[in-house]
Structure 1
Amino acid sequence: MYKKILQETGHRDSPLPAGPWMMTQKWDDLLFLHLPASPETIRRYVPDQMELDTYDGEAWVSIIPFKISDMRIRLLPSFPYIRKFLELNVRTYVKRDGIPGIYFFSLDAEKLLPVLGARMGTLPYYYANMGMKKRGDWFHYHSKRHGNRELAFKGRYRPMSESRFPEKGTLDHWLLERYYLWTQVKDHVFTVGIHHLPWKVADAEAIIEKQGLTPFLPAEATGNRMLLHYAHSRRVLFWPLKKA
């Protein structure tokens, strides 16, 4: 399985990370909720050592609720407590040294141990009370961050079309096919490389009851120009965190 994933790289706009991968996760039932925003709005929240990436002059912020169903360290058996949990990411799009990637504003998770481990690795993880259920063809998802109940998300979503592989050059491909993330601690930038097979996504419908995870965005950013994708599942490989 892993060999097949590593052999398929044509969908990437960046090289595979050097060395062996360290960890794997399976991501299931993802909603990609993409919000356009002005570059001036987003730039102030992105570290100066990263270039804000835009598509046709617009910056984008994406909110991604999903389920992790199989996390394990390479060559080790899975640990039952951290094998499965919910996660909710808020990210924007950046470049560094010409390589496209992502910058996380926040990552919420429902189990404390992965949060503590990730924060030691410099990522902005937060512990949250979270739940996800499927009723009919709708996925119902909620999250409230411990210590600040306003940083919450509640809604439901479902796929609305056949799944497809986005074509290179399109906005869909630009938003989805990202394989490096960067984070900054003081004056030091760190990076993590990932890899998976190309995203196969459907158009999605979402009804959002609460969305308090992007207080830095103007109200009009959550209007009619939201772009929604649903992805059923992807096996993801992670490389070790390193100083950029």
Structure 2
Amino acid sequence: MRLPALRAGWLTQTFVHWPYPPETVQALLPEGLAVDVREGAAWVGLTPFVMAEVRPPGVPAWLPGVPTFAETNLRTYVRHRNGRDGLWFLSLEVACPLMTAARAVGAPYNPGTLSVSTGGDTVSYAGSRWGGGPSYRLIVRPGDSIEPTERDVWLTSRWRAYTRQLGMLWETPVEHEPWPLADATVDVLEETLTTAAGLPAPLTEPVVHYSSGVRHVRLGPSLPSAPRPRPA
């Protein structure tokens, strides 16, 4: 990425992943995207975190007024018809209304009241949309750090996100250092985001990871996705 559009940190992040039948998730995707399948399933992740020190390139993180706020994504994993993998967001909950400007390229941001807090050996997340609608409450207990397996990396690391607007698929690239991952157990999980997105009950209990976060996130500009290269 030669020049990012934004820099940020993604901190205090939990990954809650459920497996679903691929055809169930495929029905929620736009034309041009296919579910990325692992272990015979499509995976949907609920990922609450703190979006920290959001700023344009060249602006120092310590500058007063650089925003930090809570965000929660409901996402799945896809492949573009050009073969490139990435994320598709089923919903984006955010405590900073300015982020809804990304709706211009189809990002499904919903402003709301969100919180992230730590106490003792637990991390708590909660959120609800303004005006009512879906909400969530999650309390996790982070465990020991782990050496990520191939599946752990597959579930947590993607380097582009897709959106759809004006009849086109758009691609937003992202770069950051590897996630430091830990095991985690769920004490409380109450959410209606999956139901609001059109999903039934998942196939099994979730796979859960926790990360203290990554501080050097570079988000590129959103551009129309390139088609599959033609054979030479």
TM-score normalised by length of structure 1: 0.84
Do the aligned partners of 1:111 and 1:127 also contact (CA within 8 Å) in 2? yes
1:202 corresponds to 2:182: yes
Counting matched residue pairs gives 220
The one of 156, 173, 178 equivalent to 1:193 is 173
Q: CA deviation at 1:200?
A: 1.8
CA distance, structure 2, for counterparts of residue 195 and residue 209 of structure 1: 30
Kindly provide the CA deviation profile for residues 150-203 of structure 1, in whole angstroms up to 9, marking residues without a partner as x.
Answer: x00102112112243x24xx2212112210110111421100000111122011
Do the aligned partners of 2:20 and 2:203 also contact (CA within 8 Å) in 1? no
CA distance, structure 2, for counterparts of residue 124 and residue 80 of structure 1: 29
Do the aligned partners of 2:74 and 2:90 also contact (CA within 8 Å) in 1? yes
Do the aligned partners of 2:139 and 2:186 also contact (CA within 8 Å) in 1? yes
Kindly provide the CA deviation profile for residues 91-118 of structure 1, in whole angstroms up to 9, marking residues without a partner as x.
Answer: 0000111111110011111121222x22
Structure 2 matches for 1:50-89, cutoff 5 A? 50-77=33-60, 83-89=67-73
Look up the SS of the partner of 2:144 in the other structure: coil
The one of 61, 77, 97 equivalent to 1:93 is 77
CA distance, structure 2, for counterparts of residue 81 and residue 222 of structure 1: 44
Kindly provide the CA deviation profile for residues 19-39 of structure 1, in whole angstroms up to 9, marking residues without a partner as x.
Answer: 322211111110000010000
Q: CA deviation at 1:223?
A: 4.1
The one of 170, 183, 200 equivalent to 1:218 is 200
What letter corresponds to residue 214 of structure 1 in structure 2?
T
Look up the SS of the partner of 1:69 in the other structure: strand
Do the aligned partners of 1:82 and 1:114 also contact (CA within 8 Å) in 2? no
Look up the SS of the partner of 2:193 in the other structure: coil
Q: 2:92 aligns to what?
A: 107
What letter corresponds to residue 208 of structure 1 in structure 2?
V
CA distance, structure 2, for counterparts of residue 59 and residue 80 of structure 1: 42
Look up the SS of the partner of 2:211 in the other structure: strand
Gaps (5+ residues) in structure 2? Answer: 226-232
CA distance, structure 1, for counterparts of residue 97 and residue 65 of structure 2: 10
Kindly provide the CA deviation profile for residues 80-135 of structure 1, in whole angstroms up to 9, marking residues without a partner as x.
Answer: 556110000000000111111110011111121222x2223421101011112211
Do the aligned partners of 2:19 and 2:204 also contact (CA within 8 Å) in 1? no
CA distance, structure 1, for counterparts of residue 151 and residue 221 of structure 2: 29
The one of 219, 222, 225 equivalent to 1:238 is 219
Runs of 4+ in 1 over 6 A off after TM superposition: none
CA distance, structure 1, for counterparts of residue 160 and residue 189 of structure 2: 31
Structure 2 matches for 1:148-187, cutoff 5 A? 148-149=132-133, 151-164=134-147, 166-167=148-149, 170-187=150-167
Q: CA deviation at 1:147?
A: 2.3
Look up the SS of the partner of 1:27 in the other structure: strand
CA distance, structure 1, for counterparts of residue 14 and residue 203 of structure 2: 15
CA distance, structure 2, for counterparts of residue 176 and residue 209 of structure 1: 19
Q: 1:3 aligns to what?
A: none
Q: CA deviation at 1:148?
A: 2.7
Q: What value does the CA root-mean-square deviation take over the aligned residues?
A: 1.7
Change (3 A) 1:207 1:193: same
The one of 115, 118, 136 equivalent to 1:131 is 115
